Amino acid sequence: MRLPHLSTLRSHPGFLNGAVFLAAAVLSVLVAWGALRTIETMSLLSIESALLLDGEDWAEVETNGLQVILSGTAPTESARFRALSIAGSQVDASRVIDVMEVPPPKEITPPQFSVEILRSEAGISMIGLIPAATDREALAERIHRIDFTRAATDLLETADYPVPEGWEPALDYALSALEILPRAKISLNADRVAIEAIAESPDQKAAWERDLRAQVPGGLRLSLDIAAPRPVITPFTLRFTIDDEGARFDACTASTEGGRTEIVAAGVAAGAKGRPDCTIGLGVPSPDWPEAVSLGIGALREMGGGSLTFSDADVTLVAAAGTPQATYDRIVGELETELPDVFSLHSVLPAPVKISGTGDAEAEGPPEFVATRSPEGLVQLRGRVASDQERTIAESFARARFGVENVYAAMRLDPDLPRGWSVRTLAGLEALSHLANGAVVVQPLVVDVSGATGNKNASAEISRILSEKLGEAEDFRVNVRYEEKFDPVASLPTPEECAADVNAALEARKITFAPGSAEIEISSARTIDEIAKILKQCPDVAMEIAGYTDSQGREEMNRALSQRRAEAVLSALLARRVLTSGYTAHGYGEDNPIADNETEEGREANRRIEFRLIGVEAPSDADAASAATEGFAETTGAGTPPAATDDAADQSSSPPQPDTASGDAASSEEPPIVVDPELEGIRPHPRPAQTDG
């Protein structure tokens, strides 16, 4: 068929009308599309601008025709609502589609419960936040019993949240400490108690520390800071000696840290070696004490030898025998001029000892009184006394000091002895009582004390006794050495050594329990025996016996089982006559794993008992100052226990481990045994020593 020619169609009236309508339709679509795009753009810009101005620029705006889509994550529900309102104020609210998200609300974190208690002469005050479940009436009654003469100031607030674990034992312990301490500040939360207090004496401080640390519940951390006043030293004594054995402090006292540093520096410059023990105390006769002592030590150094003794404001300088008279006169004159006004100097230049006797007569030296003490404690008295009465007095004094059966007396009478001889002999016997063994030689010109002692302060105490008893311008010599074997405290093992010995016993053979129970295996009896033997040598060491399990089984059951196991070890030690007042048992369950609970080896390691030192004494100010002094002397040219083992016995030496993949609490249905922790004496803190059950 043949199609009509194009020119024929164009001339046809219907074709022209259709073309016109088609063009109009296309134009209308274009106009409508342009108008829609204009509306979308204007809506987008106006809403974004409004959101930005109102601070809600987190919201994202999109347009789809007449629809406005709001998206993004709103910080809060109210912010989402504000964004919707802002968008609805710019366009018809029906056109706004909300696809915004709001993050889920966070769980409300329980508050940190804590209390601060202050006790002083004004009474007791408490401030802090406690759980609403705390019995306020019982708390108030207990506070009233502690101090019933004054009304307590109660500024405690409450919050209705669950009582945190450990809160009740911590609060009870803090109140027990408050009963002991008349002046104290105690801060506590569920896992820590910090105590600051003031004692009246060093002895009271030590007793309080021992008692407080003995009562710490298991799992509670203790920070203890008890201050005690400095000791009163009378007379305020210092003695410095330079002889054939070198320069040394026989006694050293100071009133301040700065004064001690100045005195020790003067001694180091004069040749003193090591770290002198210079006690800081009260009773200094003058604030110029460090200057006066430094001047005296400098004069003795220049003289080349002798002894220097300060007894309060009385200064005695005894030159070495053979010192030239001119040198002695010059140095003594300069020292008298330079010493502060309050100090009085007495100087002595010993005369050569003359030997009497003529012809065939026996030569005789100066008269002597000699007292000796053997390592077994036997005392012999020999030499001269002036009368029967003085002999009786010396024997009675010695027997009172050393024991009636320990004294042997063989003294002879000499009525020509110097005046005051009896005072010198009694002072010598008193000095001898500070020695474990040694001798005292009393002569008219000097009293010589030598020997060994287990008291680090014996040299200072002896110097103080002789300085006070003999009087001014009297010479004496103290050559006393400290030996640790005579020290009843130092000879005991340290807390760290005790823990290390326990760990060594556990490494040699582990402790095991019956599966899912707190019954100690018979094969572990030897280990318990060895640990008991070690701990009997550590009577003042406080430890926590901590029980742990693996993560299999219910957490509550594991915690109960670990508590019973720790208590079983404590009971086993008590049965072996170990003084357990310093130990406490605490079960931690599956807390603090030391290995991976996904493997059998890891679970075996996590089933364990740990012996932890509850605390260790912090270095005292005196120790710190002594360390600083030692560092100064060196500058100037003068001289943790390993982790314990777990339940499993050594595979090479014991039966297969009963507690395996079944979990510690798999077969345990018994509730935890709740007991009051044994009283415990603590020392401040090395890394916990671990042992295992």
Return the pLDDT at 357.
Answer: 46
Evaluate if residue 662 carries a pLDDT over 60. no
Tens of pLDDT along 280-304? Answer: 998 999 999 999 999 999 999 999 9
Tell me if 240 sits within 8 A of 269, measured CB to CB: no
- Of the pLDDT bands very low, low, confident and very high (cuts 50, 70, 90), residue 366 is confident
- Of the pLDDT bands very low, low, confident and very high (cuts 50, 70, 90), residue 555 is confident
Element (H or E) spanning 371, and its range? strand 369-373
CA nearest neighbour of 645 among 607, 599, 595, 687: 607
- The span from the CA of 340 to the CA of 335, in Å, is 10
Is 114-227 a domain of CATH 3.40.1520.20? Answer: yes
The pLDDT of 186-203, averaged and rounded, is 90
The pLDDT of 501-520, averaged and rounded, is 82
Return the pLDDT at 15.
Answer: 55
Pairing of strands 114-120, 123-131: antiparallel
Select the CATH number that applies to the domain covering 31-106 from these four: 3.40.50.410, 3.20.20.80, 3.30.1340.30, 3.40.50.880.
Answer: 3.30.1340.30
Evaluate if residue 165 carries a pLDDT over 70. yes
What are 387-396's contacts with CB under 8 Å, separation 24+?
Answer: 387/413, 387/415, 388/413, 390/421, 390/422, 390/425, 393/422, 393/426, 394/422, 394/425, 394/426, 394/429
Greatest mean pLDDT range, 123-127, 216-220, 575-579: 123-127
Helix (H, G, I), strand (E, B) or coil at 441: strand
The pLDDT of 264-284, averaged and rounded, is 90
Return the pLDDT at 11.
Answer: 55
Ranges in the chain annotated CATH 3.30.1330.60: 495-636
3-class secondary structure for 23-88?
HHHHHHHHHHHHHHHHHHHHHHHHHHHHHHHCCCCCCEEEEECCEEEEECECCCHHHHHHHHHHHH
Tens of pLDDT along 470-490? Answer: 876 678 888 888 887 887 766
- The span from the CA of 248 to the CA of 268, in Å, is 9
CA nearest neighbour of 184 among 216, 227, 141: 227
Helix (H, G, I), strand (E, B) or coil at 656: coil
| DSSP string across 406-439 | GEEEEEEE-TTPPTTHHHHHHHHHHHHTT-SEEE
Burial of 497 (0-12, 13-18, 19+ CB in 10 A): middle
Return the pLDDT at 639.
Answer: 39
- Of the pLDDT bands very low, low, confident and very high (cuts 50, 70, 90), residue 185 is very high
Ranges in the chain annotated CATH 3.40.1520.20: 114-227, 369-486
Return the pLDDT at 8.
Answer: 54
Return the pLDDT at 542.
Answer: 79
Element (H or E) spanning 155, and its range? strand 153-159
The pLDDT of 372-377, averaged and rounded, is 91
Evaluate if residue 355 carries a pLDDT over 90. no
Evaluate if residue 429 carries a pLDDT over 90. yes
- Percent with pLDDT over 70 in the chain: 80
Return the pLDDT at 473.
Answer: 65
Alpha-helical runs (H) found in 91-195: 136-146, 167-180
Which of the two residues, 618 and 379, has the higher pLDDT score?
379
3-class secondary structure for 37-50?
HHHHHHHHHHHHHH
Return the pLDDT at 218.
Answer: 78
Evaluate if residue 379 carries a pLDDT over 90. yes
> For 237-348, which CATH class?
alpha beta
pTM: 0.49
Pairing of strands 246-251, 253-254: unpaired
Tens of pLDDT along 152-161? Answer: 899 999 999 9
**Ramachandran angles phi, psi of 101, nearest 5°:** -115, 150
What are 46-54's contacts with CB under 8 Å, separation 24+?
Answer: 46/90, 46/91, 47/86, 47/87, 47/90, 47/91, 50/86, 50/87, 50/89, 50/90, 51/83, 51/86, 51/87, 54/82, 54/86
Return the pLDDT at 299.
Answer: 95
- Give 134's DSSP letter: S
Tell me if 65 sits within 8 A of 40, measured CB to CB: yes
Strand order in the sheet with 608-613: 583-587, 543-548, 608-613
Evaluate if residue 129 carries a pLDDT over 90. yes
Evaluate if residue 144 carries a pLDDT over 80. yes
The pLDDT of 572-596, averaged and rounded, is 86
**Ramachandran angles phi, psi of 548, nearest 5°:** -135, 155
Ranges in the chain annotated CATH 3.30.1340.30: 31-106
Sequence-distant (6+) residues with CB within 8 A of 34 are: none
Element (H or E) spanning 242, and its range? strand 237-243
What single-letter amino acid sits at 446? V
Select the CATH number that applies to the domain covering 369-486 from these four: 3.40.1520.20, 3.20.20.60, 3.30.1330.10, 3.50.50.60.
Answer: 3.40.1520.20
Just give the CATH number of 495-636: 3.30.1330.60
What are 325-328's contacts with CB under 8 Å, separation 24+?
Answer: 325/349, 327/303, 328/303
Return the pLDDT at 342.
Answer: 92
CA nearest neighbour of 596 among 550, 561, 661: 550
CA nearest neighbour of 142 among 132, 152, 131, 156: 152
Greatest mean pLDDT range, 14-18, 31-35, 304-308, 640-644: 304-308
- Give 18's DSSP letter: H
Helix (H, G, I), strand (E, B) or coil at 447: strand
Tell me if 323 sits within 8 A of 305, measured CB to CB: yes
Return the pLDDT at 362.
Answer: 42
Return the pLDDT at 676.
Answer: 36
Return the pLDDT at 634.
Answer: 41
- Percent with pLDDT over 90 in the chain: 31
CA nearest neighbour of 302 among 251, 242, 352, 343: 242
Mean pLDDT estimate for the chain = 80
Position of tokens 């203890």?
224
- The span from the CA of 457 to the CA of 231, in Å, is 14
Helix (H, G, I), strand (E, B) or coil at 297: helix
Evaluate if residue 7 carries a pLDDT over 60. no
Return the pLDDT at 3.
Answer: 53
Which of 320-334, 440-454, 496-510 comes out lowest in average pLDDT? 496-510
Tell me if 38 sits within 8 A of 46, measured CB to CB: no
Tens of pLDDT along 320-330? Answer: 988 999 899 99
